[in-house]
Amino acid sequence: MALSFGEGRTRPLNCLHSMQTFFIIAILAFGFLITFQIAKASEYVAVLRGEEKARKQTNRINAFLLLTFLVLGLIGVYYCNERLKGKILGEAASVQGDKIDTMLYITIAITGVVFFITQILLFWFAFKYQESDKRKAYYYPHNNKLEIIWTVIPAIALTALVGFGIYYWFKITGEAPKDAMVVEVTGSQFKWEFRYPGRDGVFGKKYYKQINPEKNNPLGQLWDDPYNHDDVVINELHLVVNKPVELIIGSKDVVHDVGLVHFRQKMDAVPGTPTTMWFTPKYTTRQMAEKLGDPEFVYELSCDQMCGKGHFGMRGIVVVETKEEFDRWLIGKAPQYLAAHPEMDPSKKTQQPADTTKTKVVAANLNK
């Protein structure tokens, strides 16, 4: 039987995947077998040496290993912090992002202090007070004062952190400034679509049953609504630097999530339930590229909610520019209404032939 090119290409890939799966299973089984044999050998050694003596020796080894792990772990934490400091998130590209970063650093500082104190005590105590024939463990069942201290102090600290978080959350998701530009963001498997109101500054109405990409109506706009006649639908998000922008977020299928990591913004896109957030970009794309020394840099909008097999590629481009650049860009975009009704596009209407009758009459009169 003859195979098409696609079928012939698929079979080797399937064989390769099968071999990879086989080797992974074989390696796991081999590792389990080795672990089992080591455990059995340890049991035999314990029997030969004497159970109690072997247990105490193992306990001393574990205590030393815990202390070693503490030292190496702290060195690793310091190394990673020095190596990756400033490279994970980078500088925030929005005014609100600066405040979120401040809250993040405060949280890391508080939890970091707690982490170092508790971990050092945990591993040092495991080493210092390991089992010994020279002393007996002290029975200390309860202390009300200690219970109050380590309950009240964390509660106060967490309440303060949560309070700051709620404050900033309501600032971001609350009412946007009156001069904010408004953009509608719609997610679907596996792309983003953006709608801008036209010169009237008002979005036209939509109805999900009217969604029909084949008829150039990807968002379900109601063409009977005149406010829809100048709305622009595009697949790239353009914003104006130093101007607040409110995003009205929705979805056409499953739950997505608008992730704007450079601006420190994140909000779910839920079918049938619009969500909103607003922020103020403070650097243009060009300025951020210069700051990072990367001429290829672009802001991106990622989907931060697992939404299907194509989730990894659901990426949108965000362009931050000056007001003049934004106005020139928007003027060059045709409303979606004209894409759905090309016969209404003035630039595509056929020009009527000129009426030469009057010209001929005037010429005849002049010749008399």
Predicted confidence band of residue 4 (pLDDT cuts 50, 70, 90): very low
Letter for the amino acid at 362? V
On the question of pLDDT at 366 being above 50, the answer is no
pLDDT band at 8, cuts 50/70/90?
very low
Contact predicate 192/259, CB 8 Å: no
Domain annotation covers residue 36 = no
pLDDT of residue 346: 78
CA distance 247 to 322: 19
- Compute the C-alpha angle 147/152/157, nearest 5°: 140
What pLDDT score does 278 carry?
94
Out of 3-17, 73-87, 111-125, 268-282, which region has the weakest mean confidence (pLDDT)?
Answer: 3-17
Residue with tokens 């071999």: 19
Of the CA atoms within 13 Å of residue 188, those in its CB half-sphere come to 12
pLDDT value at position 361?
Answer: 44
User: Using an 8 Å Cβ cutoff, are 261 and 302 in contact?
Assistant: yes
Q: Is the pLDDT of residue 270 over 70?
A: yes
Confidence of residue 15 (pLDDT cuts 50, 70, 90): low
Does the pTM surpass 0.95? The reply is: no
pLDDT at 187 over 50: yes
pLDDT computed for residue 140 by the predictor: 82
Claim to verify: residue 113 and residue 97 sit in the same structural domain: yes
Asked if 85 and 206 sit in the same domain, the reply is: no
3-state DSSP call for residue 15?
helix
If asked whether residues 105 and 150 sit together in one domain, one would say: yes
Same domain? For 113 and 215 the reply is no
Q: Do 119 and 266 fall within a single domain? A: no
Provide the pLDDT for residue 177: 92
Structural domain includes residue 363: no
Domain of 101, in residue numbers: 44-130+144-173
Report the 10 Å Cβ neighbour count for 237: 23
Decide if 244 contacts 177 (C-beta within 8 A): yes
Strands 232-234 and 275-279: unpaired
How many domains would you assign to the chain?
2
- Domain assignment present for residue 158? The answer is yes
Shared domain for 168 and 241, answered yes or no, is: no
Asked if 322 and 210 sit in the same domain, the reply is yes
201-218 per-position pLDDT tens digit? 899 999 999 999 999 999
Task: State pLDDT tens for residues 34-50.
Answer: 888 887 777 666 666 66
Residue 361 is assigned to a structural domain of this protein: no
Question: 113 and 210 share a domain?
Answer: no
Average pLDDT, whole number, for the chain? 85
pLDDT, residue 288, reads 94
Q: Does residue 160 share a domain with residue 217?
A: no
Residue 308 inside a domain? The answer is: yes
The CATH number that applies at residue 228 is 2.60.40.420
Same domain, 218 and 307: yes
Q: Render pLDDT for 216-234 as a digit per residue (tens, 0 to 9).
A: 999 999 999 999 999 999 9
Q: Which residue has the higher pLDDT, 345 or 92?
A: 92
Residue 352 in this model has a pLDDT that exceeds 80: no
- Asked whether residue 159 falls in the same domain as residue 296, the answer is no
Q: In three state form, how does the secondary structure of 212-259 look?
A: EHHHCECCCECCCCHHHHHCEEECCEEEECCCCEEEEEEECCCCEEEE
Residue 230 resides in a domain: yes
Taking only the tens place, the pLDDT of each residue in 69-104 is: 999 999 998 898 888 877 777 889 999 999 899 888
The candidate with the shortest Cα–Cα distance to 317, out of 217, 197, 194, 218, is: 194
User: What is the structure's pLDDT at 330?
Assistant: 92
Is the pLDDT higher at 191 or at 49? 191
Assess if residue 54 is contained within a domain: yes
| H helix runs in the chain, sequence order | 5-49, 51-84, 95-128, 144-173, 285-292, 323-331, 336-340, 357-367
- 284 vs 165, residue with greater confidence: 284
| 27 in any annotated domain | no
57 and 164 together in one domain: yes
Pairing of strands 299-303, 315-321: antiparallel
